[in-house]
Amino acid sequence: MRQRTIGKITVGAIGLGAMPLSIEGRPDERRAVATVHAALDAGVTLIDTADSYHWHAGERGHNELLLARALRSYGGDTSGVLVATKGGRGRPGDGSWTVTGTPGHLKRAAEASAGRLGVEAIGLYQLHKPDPAVPWAESVGALRDLLDAGTIRAAGISNVTTAEIREAHAILGAGLVSVQNRYSPAVRTGEPELRLSESLGLAFLPWSPLGGVSRSALDGPPGPAGAGTVFHRIAAERGVSPQRIALAWLLARSPAVVPVPGASRPTSVQDSARAAETELSEAELARLEAAPE
């Protein structure tokens, strides 16, 4: 698979968003583990998780524990796999999400995540979302403390503005390696954050990168060339899935981009991984650069 960098670490250009393996509607563990193994077989070496990726109350860290089991049971070499986890959000079990960005909480959360993942130091730890009740500098300062303590090897921030990126970069320096914001065919408002990340040498990890492109096309043949969005039309012309086209388009946006599409089936992650080798023509990119249709 084509490679990209996050800080000093080289990863496959397409990652795996592991959230669907643990939230509402999650697959059974056998299929979840098979999905992770299929990702590794396809050359995926970045797996994105969070301590809040769970379904029911009282199962915090479900996704981290699942990934640890999947990696242990994989028959191949996993030494080059980067598991990126996040802290600062919670799920009380009623479908809602909470935000807690106090330094004490983030430090305890990171230590607990390291324990569930079975690692001495977390390869990449990202602050999941700014807490409006806590000064941003204090939350980011907790990441600095975690870096200094060796609990994490690199830090990232998620769901942030350009001002928050600049402030975090000033506090963390080379310790800050990634920004994880929403960016997709349907949501392109993150362009300023993408360009700032690129200029600062930070990886940009789009979450929900397939927004606006239906997953249903993975389960059947491409539709007629005139159907759906321009992503669907180009996919039909090429005889591939629109998801693959969407991810290839994201990779073409910037060398800083490493998409982390979610998956809950081996076939889904295998298709996503093929986007790393899908080269779009200048004419196709020009069509895709237009506003979503």
SS3 169: helix
Reference 67, options 102, 112, 21; nearest CA is 21
- For every residue of 112-168, DSSP letters joined together read HHHHHHT-SSBSEEEE-S--TTS-HHHHHHHHHHHHHHTSBS-EEEES--HHHHHHH
**pLDDT confidence bin for 137, thresholds 50/70/90:** very high
pTM comes to 0.94
Q: Which fold is adopted by the domain 3-212+248-278?
A: TIM Barrel (3.20.20)
Question: Which of 79-88, 134-143, 199-208, 222-231 comes out lowest in average pLDDT?
Answer: 222-231
Distance of alpha carbon 87 from alpha carbon 74, whole angstroms: 26
The whole-number average pLDDT for the span 146-155 is 98
Query: Any idea where the domains of the chain sit in the sequence?
Result: 3-212+248-278
Catalytic residues: 53
Say if residue 83's pLDDT is above 70: yes
Residues in the chain: 293
Q: What is the pLDDT of residues 173-188, one digit of tens each?
A: 999 999 999 999 999 9
Supply 234's token pair: 């180009």
- In contact, 141 and 103? CB cutoff 8 Å: yes
Say if residue 219's pLDDT is above 50: no
In single-letter form, the type of residue at position 272 comes to S
Residue 227: what pLDDT? 59
**pLDDT confidence bin for 221, thresholds 50/70/90:** very low
Residue with tokens 């769970």: 54
Reference 133, options 99, 157, 159; nearest CA is 99
Q: What is the pLDDT of residues 24-66, one digit of tens each?
A: 999 999 999 999 999 999 999 999 999 999 999 899 999 999 9
Q: How far apart, in Å, are the Cα atoms of 136 and each of 65, 101, 164, 190, 201?
A: 29, 8, 7, 20, 21
Find residue 46's DSSP bridge partners: 82
Say if residue 189's pLDDT is above 80: yes
**pLDDT confidence bin for 218, thresholds 50/70/90:** very low
| Strand order from edge to edge, sheet including 46-48 | 16-17, 46-48, 82-87, 124-127, 155-158, 176-180, 203-204
Q: What is the pLDDT of residues 281-290, one digit of tens each?
A: 999 999 998 8
- In contact, 206 and 232? CB cutoff 8 Å: no
Pick the most confident of 88-97, 98-107, 221-230: 98-107
- The DSSP symbol for 292 reads P
End-to-end CA distance of the chain: 30
Mean pLDDT for all residues in the chain? 94
Say if residue 112's pLDDT is above 70: yes
